[in-house]
């Protein structure tokens, strides 16, 4: 199966009933993770709910939802942390839910992320089911759920919302719903800067389909009829391509106008957080610095192994001839995460949306007998739950 050569699926075929096993399995994994977090937090006299809704980025999103943009923190070293670094869709949804319910902004953020995590799981299932079948779709959702940093899927962060929009946009591309794909890509671009990866996937798929149509014109239709068919196919794709970048471009341009620093003003905002894109140089130095002493050298080896595993998974995805939009999307998310110049501890959660990288593992799991695959998932879920509870009660995701 190459590029866009996926099975033809009629509209509405990814029903809730078809996805139910995947969603029930996802709910069980996340419930286990939350139970472990509650027990671990109680043992340390901490509130698990506070850890999920009122730390790090969650606080910044809540402040945007409540007070809007314009808040910044000036650090002693001269850095300026501005809330303009945070894209607006999640705080908008928090504000809307707060306005129509008794929920606080923090509570609204938790509810939005909870619902978005299930929408993301459903989207991951839809994509994997479309490409490899239902069993692989269920396994893909379970593998995504048991990731070591899967607890972030339950936090009032934007990862779950972004993954949901990205997954359904990719599904829309795979099933030829170009306008829907573009609209969802635009919303993904209002959620996180990595929305550029979804835009790239939509554009790559559309361009590939244009090229394919020109190389293989309709042979069984008269010339004029073939032209009309080509025009009918061209318009939705062109509109999808037009819609896709509007979200990320609109917010970046608004930030530039708001700060008075022009179209690239958002880069200055990110620079205030010491964040940027340097091709991986800073991350390489971070890893190299781990080898200056013996205990930290073990962490350095772990980081190298982790990066090598990610690159190997991407190579396997290419060898398995995943559809082009999945390869473009996963490659872009991987590159943006690994080549960012700061917040190295955040890289595992920044890679959460790169679910196509997990499809080779899902296929391997799907080939096992049900009893064995259940045992593997159960063990991984337990390990993920314990690690997530320990991680969030410690330094956790910045």
Dump pLDDT digits (tens) for 154-201.
999 999 999 999 999 999 999 999 999 999 999 999 999 999 999 999
Question: In the chain, what are the helix, strand and coil shares in percent, each to the nearest 5?
Answer: 75, 0, 25
Closest CA to 149 of 361, 391, 338, 365: 391
Average confidence (pLDDT) over 331-340: 93
Provide the mean pLDDT of the chain: 90
- What's the pLDDT score for residue 282? 85
Calculated CA dihedral for residues 213, 214, 219, 225, nearest 10 degrees: 80
pTM above threshold 0.95: no
SS (H, E, C) 89-115: HHHHHHHHHHHHCCCCHHHHHHHHHHH
Closest CA to 39 of 386, 304, 271: 386
- Phi, psi of 286, deg, nearest 5: -60, -45
Tokens of 256: 């530039």
Please determine, for residue 6, whether its predicted confidence score (pLDDT) is greater than 60.
no
- What's the pLDDT score for residue 341? 82
């Amino acid at each position: 199966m190459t590029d866009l050569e996926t099975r033809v699926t009629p509209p509405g075929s990814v029903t809730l009933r078809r996805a139910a096993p995947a969603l029930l399995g996802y709910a069980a994994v996340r419930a286990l993770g939350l139970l472990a977090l509650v027990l671990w937090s109680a043992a340390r006299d901490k509130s698990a709910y506070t850890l999920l809704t009122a730390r790090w980025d969650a606080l910044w999103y809540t402040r945007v939802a409540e007070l809007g943009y314009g808040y910044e923190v000036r650090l002693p070293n001269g850095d300026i942390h501005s809330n303009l670094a945070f894209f607006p869709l999640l705080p908008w949804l928090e504000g809307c839910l707060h306005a129509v319910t008794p929920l606080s902004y923090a509570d609204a953020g938790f509810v939005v992320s909870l619902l978005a995590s299930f929408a993301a799981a459903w989207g991951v299932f839809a994509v994997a089911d479309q490409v490899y079948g239902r069993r692989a779709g269920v396994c893909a959702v379970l593998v995504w759920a048991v990731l070591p940093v899967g607890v972030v899927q339950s936090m009032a962060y934007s990862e779950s919302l972004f993954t949901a929009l990205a997954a359904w946009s990719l599904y829309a591309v795979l099933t030829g719903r170009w306008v829907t794909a573009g609209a969802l890509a635009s919303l993904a671009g209002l959620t996180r800067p990595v929305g550029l990866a979804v835009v790239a996937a939509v554009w790559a798929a559309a361009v590939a389909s244009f090229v394919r149509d020109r190389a293989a014109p309709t042979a069984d239709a008269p010339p004029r009829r073939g032209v009309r068919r080509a025009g009918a196919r061209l318009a939705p794709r062109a509109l999808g391509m037009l819609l896709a970048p509007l979200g990320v471009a609109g917010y970046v341009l608004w930030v530039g106008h708001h700060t008075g620093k022009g179209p690239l003003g958002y880069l200055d905002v990110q620079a205030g957080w010491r964040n940027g894109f340097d091709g991986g140089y800073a991350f390489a130095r971070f890893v190299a610095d781990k080898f200056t002493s013996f205990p930290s050298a073990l962490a350095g080896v772990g980081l190298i192994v982790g990066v090598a595993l990610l690159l190997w998974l991407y190579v396997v995805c290419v060898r398995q001839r995943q559809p082009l939009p999945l390869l473009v999307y996963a490659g872009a998310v991987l590159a943006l995460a690994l080549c960012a110049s700061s917040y190295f501890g955040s890289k595992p959660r920044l890679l959460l949306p790169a679910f196509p990288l997990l499809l080779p593992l899902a296929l391997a799991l799907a080939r096992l007998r049900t009893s064995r695959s259940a045992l593997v998932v159960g063990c991984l879920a337990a390990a993920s739950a314990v690690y997530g509870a320990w991680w969030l009660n410690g330094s956790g995701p910045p």
